[in-house]
Amino acid sequence: MRAVDQLLQVESLSVEYRTGTLAKAVQDVSLNLKTGETLGLVGESGSGKSTLGLAVMGLIRPPGFVTRGKIVFDGTNLLTLAPEQLRELRGRKIAMIFQDPMTSLNPVKKIGDHFVEYIHAHDSHVSEQVAKGRAKTVLEDLGIPESRLNDYPHQFSGGMRQRVMIGLALALEPSLIIADEPTTALDVIVEAQILQQLANLKSKYSLSLILITHNMGVVAEMADRVAVMYAGRLAEVAPVNSIFGTPRHPYTEALLESIPNILASDKVLKTIPGTPPDLTHPPSGCPFHPRCRYAFERCRKEIPMPVITGNESEAACFRLEGEESRHS
């Protein structure tokens, strides 16, 4: 039965890319999102975090295939919807923001016309005037004056373009926004400005947010709960304070020990040996075992299943087995 406050439930999702060699980008991932929550989805390149975001948007296209699982949004399994039903949902219910706004904006189209086109694609009855009015309102929330609706994308700075993208995502008042590395291409001051605006808009528009990033700092600043992915699998999910305070998966623990922090005084960083695996030739057993300081024989042979480690927390590691009984 679906809990009332669950907006999104991903169940045993697997996605693979078939390009000569098979890459299992997402494997057996189960995850949920509560209404109003900000979920930080973290991982390195190749961890599957972006593929998972695209899957929720219904944007996996060949050579990518969803091979297994369910994506239940607001009670409906998105994977059973016809393409036109999905298109209806996208934008109106779920919208996505990407890293590079320049590739998402049409260089020969004025900013205002982007809004008109986007809104018309979902509702052709909306007049141009109403559409532009809506554009004006969202952009004002993002600190962009109405006069700039007549400007072209190249007249905007990187930060302003990303604000336009956020504005477009908000234009149809969706309930879920998936932001994939929205501030990675920006300088640190602009990044902080945009993250702050995103947090404010989230409450104003009563949004739920999936924030995909490789930056543990951004996650610590923004997320309520954090899901850590490694080599296509979910390593750990827990409330943000638990992830940073008492990480349970060896990968999360090692990652946090290896990132520099400007507030920490003279901290010596511990390096993680090795490199993230090649998804076309993943290691046997637990994908992190070749780099794990605790790995033992079983880790090389079997894939660990998620173990409940606390309230809303689970981690996929054999070392945690036996703890489950204490919590359930």
Partner 1 sequence: MLPPGGRRISPFLEVNSLRKFFPVQRSLIAQVFARSPPDAVHAVDGVTFNVERGDVFGLVGESGSGKTTAGRITAGLISPTEGHVTFDGVEIFSMGKSELRKLRKRIQLVYQDPLSSLNPRMTIGDAVSEPLRYLSDESASKSREHVSDLLERVGLSPADSFYFRYPHQLSGGQRQRVVIARALSIGPEYLVADEPVAMVDVSVRAQIMDLLLTMQRELNLTILLITHDLAVAKYMCNKIAVMYLGKIMEYARTEDLFRNPLHPYTQALLAAVPIPDPTKRSLKKIPSGEIPSALHPPDGCVFNPRCPRVFGKCSIEVPSLLEREPGHYVACHLYT
Whole-angstrom distance, CA of residue 211 vs CA of residue 31:
14
Span from 64-72, 259-267, 297-305, 312-320 in contact with partner 1 (CB under 8 A): 259-267
- Total residues at interface with partner 1 (CB under 8 A): 48
For residue 198, give every residue at least 6 positions away whose Cβ sits within 8 Å of its Cβ, in sequence order, or none. 166, 179, 182, 209, 222
Q: Does 285 bind partner 1 (CB under 8 A)?
A: no
Span from 6-14, 108-116, 244-252, 301-309 in contact with partner 1 (CB under 8 A): 244-252
- 220-223 contacts at long range (C-beta below 8 A, 24 or more positions apart): 220/244, 221/195, 222/38, 222/40, 222/195, 222/198, 223/38, 223/39, 223/40
Whole-angstrom distance, CA of residue 121 vs CA of residue 53:
22
Q: Does 82 bind partner 1 (CB under 8 A)?
A: no
Q: Does 3 bind partner 1 (CB under 8 A)?
A: no
Question: Given candidates 21, 196, 206, 284, which one binds partner 1 under the rule CB under 8 A?
Answer: 196
Which amino acid type is present at position 298? R
Shortest Cβ 279–partner 1 spacing (Å) = 12
Beta carbons of 279 and 287 less than 8 angstroms apart: no
Helix, strand, coil % (nearest 5) of the chain?
Answer: 40, 25, 40
Shortest Cβ 247–partner 1 spacing (Å) = 11
Shortest Cβ 200–partner 1 spacing (Å) = 11
For residue 20, give every residue at least 6 positions away whose Cβ sits within 8 Å of its Cβ, in sequence order, or none. none
Question: Given candidates 1, 3, 20, 45, which one binds partner 1 under the rule CB under 8 A?
Answer: 45
Shortest Cβ 193–partner 1 spacing (Å) = 6
Span from 7-15, 146-154, 157-165, 317-325 in contact with partner 1 (CB under 8 A): 157-165
Whole-angstrom distance, CA of residue 124 vs CA of residue 43:
39
Q: Which residues bind partner 1 (CB under 8 A)?
A: 44-45, 143, 157-160, 187-193, 195-196, 214-221, 223, 240-241, 244-245, 251, 254-256, 258-263, 269-273, 275-276, 278, 291
